[in-house]
Amino acid sequence: MIRFTNVSKTYKNGTMALKDVNLEIQDGEFVFIVGSSGAGKSTLIKMLLHEEVPTSGEVEVNGFKLSKMRRRQIPKFRRSLGVVFQDFRLIPTMNVYDNVAFALRVTDVPTRDIRRRVPYILSLVGLGSKARCMPDQLSGGEQQRVALARALVNNPRLIIADEPTGNIDPELSYEIVDLLNEINNVGTTVIMVTHEHDLVAQFNRRVLTLEHGHIIADDQEWRQ
Ligand SMILES: Nc1ncnc2c1ncn2[C@@H]1O[C@H](COP(=O)(O)OP(=O)(O)OP(=O)(O)O)[C@@H](O)[C@H]1O
């Protein structure tokens, strides 16, 4: 579960990016986060990832109370979630297989498990035949599916996708969200930040709207 309790964030330059945010997301939910530029969406995601800490209030993610988390718990916490970014963040010198396997190698997963797990995840995202390709030989949509495979390979309870379709053609964007939808259908919690209202309207999911650091709407589905 995710819980924000009276969370505010003021950056060093005095900008108040989040103002007294209260929020609960249950395990297994799919939540879109929308809002105009500067509304606080990225700040909220940074709080979830423990990249920034609140100025006041408490954030709890997957059973970790982030303000009380010890430094040595951070790797375990990070493994409980998978992250997908707008700019894919693949390693350009590694092929598709190694980009995904890398996420397992750094956590000392045995090689035989990696050899089983990576092809399975790649076929899940529809890239079984592209394992030996380099990232620059793939379309934007395919690169984002590699990033999604990498986020999924550790079997996280939670996927956080920050504008995952921002660099992808609109017709391929639907595919990415559809994949996230399928992943959610087998039990993984999904949180996705997006600007694309048309995309949100195609999936009947919970929508949180941020404005000037406040949650101004929490709808069970999108209403224009
Ligand atoms: N590191 C920072 N230092 C100071 N101010 C920041 C910092 N990061 C964000 N801000 C400010 O905090 C506010 C919220 O920014 P945030 O990036 O969370 O918005 P956003 O909703 O993600 O916007 P976008 O859709 O443009 O990515 C903005 O006014 C922004 O200028």
Give residue-wise pLDDT tens across range 154-178.
999 999 999 999 988 888 899 999 9
Q: What is the pLDDT of residue 130?
A: 97
The residue whose C-alpha atom lies closest to atom 31 belonging to ligand 1 is 38
Q: Is the model's pLDDT at 224 over the cut of 60?
A: no
Provide the percentage of residues in the chain whose pLDDT is more than 90: 85
pLDDT at 35 over 80: yes
Atom 18 of ligand 1: nearest residue by CA position: 40
Interface ipTM above 0.95: yes
CA of 25 to the centre of ligand 1 (A): 22
Cβ-count burial of 93 within 10 angstroms (0-12 exposed, 13-18 middle, 19+ buried)? exposed
CA of 62 to the centre of ligand 1 (A): 25
Q: Which atom of ligand 1 is nearest to the CA of 40?
A: 18
Helix axes 140-152, 170-185, angle to 10 degrees: 20
* Pocket around ligand 1 at a 6 A CB cut-off: 11, 13, 15, 17, 35, 37-43
Q: Residue 52 has what DSSP assignment? A: S
Average pLDDT value for residue range 44-71: 95
Handedness of CA 209, 22, 74, 182 (dihedral sign): negative
Instruction: Name the residue ranges covered by the structural domains of the chain.
Output: 1-80+156-224, 92-155
Fold of 1-80+156-224: Rossmann fold (3.40.50)
Q: What is the pLDDT of residue 223?
A: 61
CB 195 within 8 A of CB 38: no
Structure confidence by residue, pLDDT tens digits, 67-115: 999 999 998 898 899 999 999 999 999 999 999 999 899 888 899 999 9
Q: Which of 43, 85, 209 to mutate for ligand 1's pocket (most ligand atoms within 8 Å of CB)?
A: 43
- 184-188 mean pLDDT: 94
